């Protein structure tokens, strides 16, 4: 496998030339004093170094060794504790954290790039700081000042880590039926009891303490999701002076044996009257959890992008070096027995598909991250409200489409290697295995599609959709004639999505099955259209510069490939949506 190199040039292009992020940061008072173009550049450069030099070399060995569990203790692969300590000492766990509690205070648009680099280097490694950051988000937004002061500094510093304990053996997506209980105590604490499964980083040897955020129900809680509260439950109790005390009444019952992410500890966690404190208000646990979810779901989408980027880097190196057969137009490498496989049309199709989806995904994830920054930091109520609407609409697209395209990309990378892609030593098969989980956790992609179409589009009567559509429509109207080759197909794609949206909204009024039947294909039509918007904006930033720099020539060529060969996928997907739900119900359950 090729050595990982952070795609810093493309990240700078997206942030600085496509979206003008440094100018935006200067309009947001909370960010203007902490970040500018030079600061962002320095952070990305350093993140590129540590991920490439210290984390990426552990990816394959970590997969081969995996985590081990003995008598409740989990050991991570060789090199992981040292690499995590180095990562934490650099301040990377708290890159987006509030400086008041020891974080760097960077916007999500920067931390998103750091996340991509970290997950390209090793997705399994990246899950530990990701879950810590997610837990910090919920604590910061909803916990009491006392809890924030007590826990956030050590979590941002990476001295302590975090986990999110949601899923139970009988309750996955349907959290309303969880059974974990929290009994109130006289001193204001709670005794938490229950079992949680699939808990990433629930137990490990990377940090001296793990701060679990646990969903549970109070004794008098209302039924269903309205009766869920959130509790902070430390692995090791923290004394008043901040030192560590006794081990809490909780433990890891086992770890899962998985298809991928072998170096990430996926734990069964048992809470047996463990001491915890409520985060937020009683029976408002889902609201506290969803503060984290918008960021985490984008983060999972970035994981799909990251594995695709790693796969592409290896595939392009292999395609330039591996010689097989001659080009259809005749020999290219006259001094060799055969030509490098990059001359062959089908190999180029796979490589360009990978490149177009990766770069489109990087632009899209950065765009969503910028909306999160505006929603969080803007003083303009109207701008903040609009950004919140876009985040609500686009988060399920970012999670599901980025990871669906990530799997397609890693499979293409494996295919470029041919038989060698199926062999473990080349690393491509690991990326396929690792990427696969991204379509499942943090809400399966089918659930994301239902969220997009059912709750966000149909549920808002198309209002949330219109916020995005109007932006794209205005962009196309304002674009110059030199961009016509990109804006004309973008406009046509948007008109198709407009019509498809109206069709589903109308169909759902007559038959509630129509939403579920259309949701996955609809999300993909939305995703390809959103990427077309990203590619038009990237082409705009590159046009006129292609003769000065191969980077811009490559960008324009890839944009043309996307519009010619990938965007047309929307037509077959749209036809599937319009076919309706009837064919899904032609068979009785016994006939399957």
**Could you read off the pLDDT of 264-292 as tens digits, one per residue?**
999 999 999 999 999 999 999 988 888 88
What pLDDT does 293 receive?
80
Burial of residue 386 (CB within 10 Å: 0-12, 13-18, 19+) is middle
Given a contact cutoff of 8 angstroms between Cβ atoms, the answer to whether 216 and 231 are in contact is yes
The whole-model pTM stands at 0.97
Least confident stretch, 54-58, 177-181, 502-506, 563-567: 177-181
Residue 23's SS3 state is helix
What pLDDT does 438 receive?
98
Q: Taking all residues of the chain, what is their mean pLDDT, rounded to a whole number? A: 97
DSSP 168-212: BTTBSS-GGG---EEEE-TTS-EEEEEEEEEEETSS-SSSSEEEE
Separation of CA 93 from chain center: 16
Given a contact cutoff of 8 angstroms between Cβ atoms, the answer to whether 221 and 183 are in contact is no
What pLDDT does 170 receive?
87
* Cβ contacts of 92 within 8 Å, gap of 6 or more: 47, 50, 114, 118, 129, 158
d(C-alpha 533, C-alpha 208), whole Å: 46
What pLDDT does 294 receive?
78
Give 22's pLDDT tier (boundaries 50, 70, 90): very high
Residue 246's SS3 state is strand
Q: Give percent of the chain above pLDDT 90.
A: 96
* 520, pLDDT greater than 90: yes
Give 175's pLDDT tier (boundaries 50, 70, 90): confident
* 172, pLDDT greater than 80: no
Average pLDDT over residues 523-536: 99
Domains of the chain: which residue ranges? Answer: 444-582
Catalytic residue among 359, 442, 514, 521: 442
In tens, the pLDDT along 108-157 reads 999 999 999 999 999 999 999 999 999 999 999 999 999 999 999 999 99
- Known catalytic residue at 442: yes
Strand partners, 194: 271
d(C-alpha 58, C-alpha 66), whole Å: 11
In tens, the pLDDT along 103-112 reads 999 999 999 9
What pLDDT does 422 receive?
98
Residue 274's SS3 state is strand
Given a contact cutoff of 8 angstroms between Cβ atoms, the answer to whether 340 and 333 are in contact is yes
């Amino acid at each position: 496998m090729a050595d990982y190199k952070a795609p810093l040039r493309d990240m700078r292009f997206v942030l600085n030339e496509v979206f003008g992020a440094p100018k935006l940061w200067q309009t947001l008072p909370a960010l203007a004093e902490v970040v500018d173009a030079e600061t962002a550049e320095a952070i990305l450069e350093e993140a590129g170094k540590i991920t490439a030099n210290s984390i990426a070399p552990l990816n394959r060995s970590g997969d081969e060794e995996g985590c081990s569990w003995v008598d409740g203790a989990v050991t991570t692969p060789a090199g992981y504790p040292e690499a995590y300590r180095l990562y934490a000492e650099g301040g990377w766990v708290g890159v987006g954290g509030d400086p008041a509690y020891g974080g760097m205070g960077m916007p999500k648009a920067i931390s998103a790039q750091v996340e991509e680099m970290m997950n390209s280097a090793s997705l399994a490694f990246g899950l530990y700081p990701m879950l810590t950051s997610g837990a910090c988000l919920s604590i910061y937004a909803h916990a009491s000042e006392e809890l924030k002061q007590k826990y956030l500094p050590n979590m941002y510093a990476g001295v302590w880590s975090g986990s999110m304990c949601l899923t139970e053996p009988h309750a996955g997506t349907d959290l309303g039926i969880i059974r974990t209980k929290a009994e109130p105590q006289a001193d204001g604490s709670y005794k938490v009891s229950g079992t949680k499964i699939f808990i990433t980083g629930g137990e490990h040897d990377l940090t001296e303490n793990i701060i679990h955020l646990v969903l549970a129900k109070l004794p008098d809680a209302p039924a269903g999701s309205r009766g869920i509260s959130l509790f902070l439950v430390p692995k090791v109790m923290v004394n008043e002076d901040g030192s560590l005390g006794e081990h809490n009444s909780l433990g890891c019952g086992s770890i899962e044996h998985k298809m991928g992410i072998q170096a990430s500890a996926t734990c069964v966690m048992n809470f047996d009257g463990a001491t915890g404190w409520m985060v937020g208000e009683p029976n408002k646990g889902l609201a506290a959890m969803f503060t984290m979810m918008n960021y985490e779901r984008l983060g999972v989408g970035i994981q799909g992008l990251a594995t695709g980027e790693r796969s592409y880097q290896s595939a392009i190196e292999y395609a330039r070096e591996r010689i097989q057969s001659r080009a259809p137009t005749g020999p290219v490498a006259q001094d060799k027995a055969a030509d490098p496989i990059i001359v062959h049309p089908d190999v180029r199709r796979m490589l360009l598909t990978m490149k177009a989806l990766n770069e489109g995904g990087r632009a899209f994830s950065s765009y969503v991250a910028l909306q999160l920054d505006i929603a969080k930091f803007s003083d303009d109520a109207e701008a903040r409200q609009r950004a919140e609407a876009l985040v609500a609409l686009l988060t399920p697209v970012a999670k599901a489409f980025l990871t669906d395209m990530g799997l397609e990309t890693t499979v293409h990378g494996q295919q470029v290697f041919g038989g060698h892609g199926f062999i473990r030593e080349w690393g491509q098969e690991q990326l396929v295995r690792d990427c696969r989980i991204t379509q499942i956790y943090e809400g399966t992609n089918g659930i994301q599609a239902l969220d997009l179409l059912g709750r966000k589009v149909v549920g808002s009567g198309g209002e949330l959709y219109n916020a995005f559509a109007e932006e794209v429509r205005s962009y196309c109207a304002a674009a110059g004639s030199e961009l016509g080759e990109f804006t004309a197909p973008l406009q046509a794609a948007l008109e198709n999505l407009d019509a498809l949206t109206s069709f589903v909204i109308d169909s759902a009024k007559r038959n509630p099955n129509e939403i579920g039947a259309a949701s996955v294909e609809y999300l993909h039509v939305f995703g390809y259209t959103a990427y077309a918007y990203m590619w038009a904006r990237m082409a705009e930033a590159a046009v006129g510069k292609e003769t000065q720099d191969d980077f811009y020539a490559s960008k324009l060529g890839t944009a043309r490939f996307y519009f010619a060969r990938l965007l047309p996928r929307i037509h077959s997907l749209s036809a599937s949506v319009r076919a309706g739900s009837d064919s899904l119900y032609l068979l009785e359950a016994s006939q399957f």
